[in-house]
Amino acid sequence: MDNYQRANLAVWNEWAEINAKSKSYDVAGFRAGNSSLRSIELEELGEVAGKSLLHLQCHFGLDTLSWARRGAAVTGVDFSDKAVGLAQALARDVGLEARFICSDLYALPAVLSGQFDIVYTSYGVLCWLRDLERWAELIAHFLKPGGVFYIADFHPFIKVFDDAAASDLRVKYPYFYHPTPSEWQVQGSYADREAQTTEPVEYEWMHSLGEIVSVLAAAGLRIEFLHEHRCSVSQTLECMEQDAQGWWRFKGSHDLPLMFSLRAVK
């Protein structure tokens, strides 16, 4: 594990407790029977009952356990030991069958065997990965022949804009991948901006939409669809507002993609 990974692990270990207590994640609602899954992934991934599902970068397992409630046999993976511990405890508390594994993503084949009907990942995952080609190969490794890979994430195009601009869209960040990550100062958690944190920085890598599609195709997956969405699950820019259904959209007349979703078959 290099210095970038160590810093990011420290941040995610600190965020695990913060996020699990945040209003954004609403763990109390989940305990009462609610699902954390959104309509986009429910409609696009479809029926999961009776299928095996591997959830990569699962954090503290709320989405993983929501898939378990829909009948999937779930395995969640995350590199944060704090998050995995919370996921295991939550599964026991609500009485759901689930397996959670603490592992660096790229080291996963050394600690997990077998293949799955579905490999799933979502929302804010790709920016933490330095090597997308190995990520795609990992997905293909764990998918059964005929198995489905599904991802929903924030659109990389929207990440080029200044996130502090209240009205105008100003380009501030690069769109294409560079092996040296961007360094960001940590201010609370994305789920609770007011939370007190001690870890100073985190590191992210940019991946273009072309790179994402190309590495999956090169790994032997057949792309079924790539959808771009005008809404977002969270406020990624200051010039966004929440609609009556809970989606975040641009204020005014901007008509740009905020998220993408992709489904592929091995």
All domains in the chain, ordered by first residue = 3-265 (3.40.50.150)
Residue 193 predicted with pLDDT over 90: no
CB-CB contact of 222 with 264 (8 Å): yes
- More confident site: 155 or 168: 155
| Interval 128-151: pLDDT, tens | 999 999 999 999 999 999 999 999
> CA 140, 144, 147: angle at the middle one, nearest 5?
85
| Interval 16-63: pLDDT, tens | 999 999 999 999 999 999 999 999 999 999 999 999 999 999 999 999
pLDDT class of 169 with cuts at 50, 70, 90: confident
b/e string for 74-87 if b means 16 or more Cβ within 10 A? bbbbbbbebbbbbb
Q: Measured between alpha carbons, how far is 249 from 236 in angstroms, rounded to an integer?
A: 10
| Interval 172-183: pLDDT, tens | 999 999 999 999
pTM of this structure:
0.96
The pLDDT of residue 239 is 86
CB-CB contact of 76 with 45 (8 Å): no
pLDDT class of 5 with cuts at 50, 70, 90: very high
The pLDDT of residue 166 is 60
The pLDDT of residue 39 is 94
Q: Measured between alpha carbons, how far is 49 from 54 in angstroms, rounded to an integer?
A: 14
**Averaged over 106-116, what is the pLDDT?**
97
**Averaged over 246-256, what is the pLDDT?**
86
Q: Which two tokens stand for residue 191?
A: 């789920």
Q: Which two tokens stand for residue 88?
A: 């295991």
The pLDDT of residue 229 is 96
List Cβ neighbours of 188 (8 Å cut-off, separation of 6 or more). 18, 194, 195, 196, 197
CB-CB contact of 147 with 263 (8 Å): no
